């Protein structure tokens, strides 16, 4: 199965010289949904930042969609980033516009024509079940709906790779389930590759997710996917 993200021999140190990653290898296949779990401050967010080229390692190779992230010019890197959808853990709050206007804002900033931006915004918000919230402002949403709105923003430009940074964090008990159901639908409909970080593994129990754990500065596969989901599965080297 073709690979969309391939990380080899990755090594990163902090400013004090402490190793954060040491000889990390990881592969994400096209269409795969991978869950990367690890405790707080284990480097989950850093790994996402490395994949989308916002941070550079001191050693190693990162291939995304067959392109070496570390050798791309800033312009090519931006073009590659347009093929990704990113849902950050802690983004600055949005508030001036309605949900529909925000998604249109993003698409028009990426030079989509006005009418196409509007149609794609409606499509994205409908896919995440926010079609009845179009005219609300983000601050009027509950935390679970806000996460869905962020997901709509991330998928609105049809990315091939979705990076989600601990999207279940701070969600009230039971509300994470709604988000995961929507995410499963997005995964199924768009056939997008998904890399999602989380602290625990419980959420993945009934989902077609391959789990990886980030510990001792390395990534290892936690368990293989359920037999029914093997067709979209992947494995750590």
Partner 1 sequence: MSSELFVSKELVRSLNAKAWLLSLAAVGLVALLSGVLALASLLIQPRSGEIRLIAMLRANISEEEINELHRRLLAEPEVLRSRYVLAPASIRSSGHFEISVKAEANLDGVMARLRSWGAFQEISSPASDSIIEELRAALLAPKLRWLVLAALAALLGSTLLVIYAALAKARQGFVGELELLVLSGASPRTMQFPFVLLGALYGLAGALLVELILYGAQIWMDAALISPEALAHLGIRGFLLGLILAGLGGGLGRLVAQRYPSPLSRSRMSSSSAGVGEH
Contacts of 153 (CB under 8 A, 6+ apart): 87, 102, 103, 106, 124
Q: Does residue 115 touch partner 1 according to CB under 8 A?
A: no
Q: Does 15 bind partner 1 (CB under 8 A)?
A: yes
Using a 10 angstrom Cβ sphere, with 0-12 exposed, 13-18 middle and 19 or more buried, the burial of residue 103 is buried
Total interface residues for partner 1 by CB under 8 A: 51
Task: State the CB neighbour count (10 A cutoff) for residue 34.
Answer: 26
Residues in the chain: 237
Binding mask 184-223 for partner 1 (x = CB under 8 A): ----------------------------------------
| Residue with smaller CB distance to partner 1, 116 or 235 | 116
Region near partner 1 per CB under 8 A, out of 3-11, 59-67, 74-82, 119-127: 74-82
Name the nearest CA neighbour of 103 among 141, 134, 63, 143: 134
Residue 100 interacts with partner 1 (CB under 8 A)? no
Interface pick for partner 1 out of 3, 8, 11, 13 (rule CB under 8 A)? 13
CB 110 within 8 A of CB 138: no
**CB neighbours of residue 17 within 10 Å:** 6
Which residues, 129 to 158, sit near partner 1 by CB under 8 A? 153-154, 157
- Judged by CB, which is closer to partner 1: 108, or 175? 108
CA 236 to chain centre: 18
CB of 142 to partner 1, least distance (A): 18
- Candidate segments 22-30, 72-80, 215-223, 224-232, binder of partner 1 by CB under 8 A: 72-80
- Beta strands 33-37; 59-64: pairing state: unpaired
Taking the least distance from each CB to partner 1, the nearer of 89 and 123 is 89
What is the per-residue binding string for partner 1 in 19-48, x denoting contact by CB under 8 A?
-x-------------------xxxxxxx-x
> 3-class SS at 25?
strand
Among 1, 54, 188, 191, binds partner 1 (CB under 8 A): 54
**Cβ-based nearer residue to partner 1, 152 or 232:** 152
For 31, 36, 87, 218, 237, the CA distances from 42, given in Å and listed in that order, are 26, 11, 19, 10, 20
H or E segment to which residue 10 belongs: strand 3-13
By CB under 8 A, name the binding residues for partner 1: 12-15, 20, 40-46, 48-49, 52-58, 74-75, 77-82, 84, 86, 88-96, 102, 105-106, 108-111, 153-154, 157, 165
């Amino acid at each position: 199965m073709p690979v969309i993200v391939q990380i080899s021999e990755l090594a990163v140190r902090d400013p004090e010289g402490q190793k954060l990653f040491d000889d990390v290898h990881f592969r994400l296949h096209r269409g795969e949904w991978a869950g990367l779990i690890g405790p707080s401050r284990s480097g989950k967010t850093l790994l996402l930042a490395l994949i989308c080229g916002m941070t550079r390692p001191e050693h190693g190779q990162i291939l995304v969609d067959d392109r070496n992230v570390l050798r791309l010019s800033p312009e090519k890197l931006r073009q590659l980033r347009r093929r990704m959808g990113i849902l950050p853990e802690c983004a600055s709050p949005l508030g001036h516009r309605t949900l529909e206007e925000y998604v249109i804002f993003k698409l028009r900033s990426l030079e989509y024509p006005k009418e196409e931006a509007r149609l794609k915004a409606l499509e994205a918000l409908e896919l995440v079940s926010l079609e009845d919230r179009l005219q609300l402002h983000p601050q009027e949403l509950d935390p679970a709906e806000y996460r869905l709105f962020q997901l709509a923003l991330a998928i609105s430009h049809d990315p091939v790779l979705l990076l989600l940074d601990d999207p279940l964090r701070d969600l009230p008990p039971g509300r994470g389930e709604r988000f995961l159901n929507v995410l499963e639908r997005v995964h199924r409909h768009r056939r997008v590759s998904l890399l999602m970080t989380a602290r625990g593994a419980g959420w993945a129990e009934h989902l077609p997710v391959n789990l990886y754990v980030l510990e001792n500065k390395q990534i290892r596969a936690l368990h293989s996917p359920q037999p029914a989901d093997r067709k979209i599965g992947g494995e750590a080297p």
